[in-house]
Amino acid sequence: MNDFLVIMGVSGCGKSSLAAAVAAAEGLPLVEGDAHHSEASREKMRQGIALTDADRAGWLERLADQLLAHPQGCVLTCSALRRAYRERLRTAVPALRFAFLEIAPAEAQARVAARSAHFFSPSLVDNQFATLEPPIGEPRVLRLDATAPLIQLQAEVSTWLHSKEAA
C-alpha cells in the first residue's frame, strides 16, 4: 500500500517539523506545501492579508499534482483548513490520510510570532482559527496534541500509519 499523508493544522502547529520527522522515519519524500504558494499569495500573507478560497484554489491544484507526482507516497504539509480543501486533495488520492495537529490559539500565536524566516504574518493566526473546519468524523484522520514532544508525535503517526485504523 502506498503511504500518502497530509500533516495539517493552523499556522504554528508544527506541520513542517512533524512532516520532516515522519518522512525520515517512514522513508517517504517530503513535500512542503508552503513552497507551492504563488508569489502573489506569499505577498498577501506577508502583508497580513488572509487568503481567499480563490487564492487557495491554484495552490491546492499544485499540491494535488505533487501527490500524483509521488506514486509511491509522500508526506505533505498543508493547512487543509476547510473540508472542501481536504476533499480536493482526496480527489487526487482517495485513500489520503491526515494527521491533524490541534493547538490552542494562544500557543499558535506565540509560535508564529517567534518565527523569523517565514512569510506568514502573525496577524493571520486568528483568521486561520476562524477558517478551520476540524476534520472530526472524517475518514483516515489522526488527531494529535501539537504541544506533545516531536518524537512522541512522530511515533504516534508512524504507529497509526501501520495500523488497521489508518487504512
Of the segments 2-11, 45-54, 120-129, which one has the largest average pLDDT value? 2-11
Going by C-beta distance under 8 Å and a sequence separation of 6 or more, which residues neighbour residue 11?
79, 108, 112, 120, 124, 125, 128
Mean pLDDT of the residues in the chain: 89
Report how far residue 78's alpha carbon sits from residue 20's, in angstroms, rounded to the nearest whole number. 13
Cα distance between residue 8 and residue 144, in whole Å: 10
Cell numbers 502573489 correspond to 40
pLDDT on residue 62:
93
Q: For cell 493547512, what's the residue?
A: 79
**Amino acid 1: pLDDT:** 46
Q: How far apart are CA 65 and CA 59, in angstroms?
A: 10
Q: Which residues of 49-81 are buried (b: 16+ CB within 10 A; e: fewer)?
A: eebeeebbeebbeebbebbeebeebbbbbbbbb
Average of per-residue pLDDT across 122-133: 84
Q: What is the mean pLDDT of residues 105-129?
A: 76
Query: What's the mean pLDDT in 86-107?
Result: 95
**Candidate from 10-14, 115-119, 153-157 with smallest mean pLDDT:** 115-119
Dihedral angle computed from the Cα positions of residues 133, 37, 21 and 86, in that order, rounded to the nearest 10 degrees: 30
Average pLDDT over residues 93-117: 88
Q: Which three cell numbers stand for residue 71?
A: 506514486
Asked if the model's pLDDT at residue 151 lies above 50, the reply is yes
Q: What's the whole-number mean pLDDT along residues 87-114? A: 92
pLDDT of residue 58 exceeding 80, the answer is yes
| The pLDDT of residue 118 | 53
> Under CATH, which architecture does the 3-166 domain have?
3-Layer(aba) Sandwich (3.40)
Q: Which residue has the higher pLDDT, 73 or 42?
A: 73
Average pLDDT, integer, range 7-36: 93
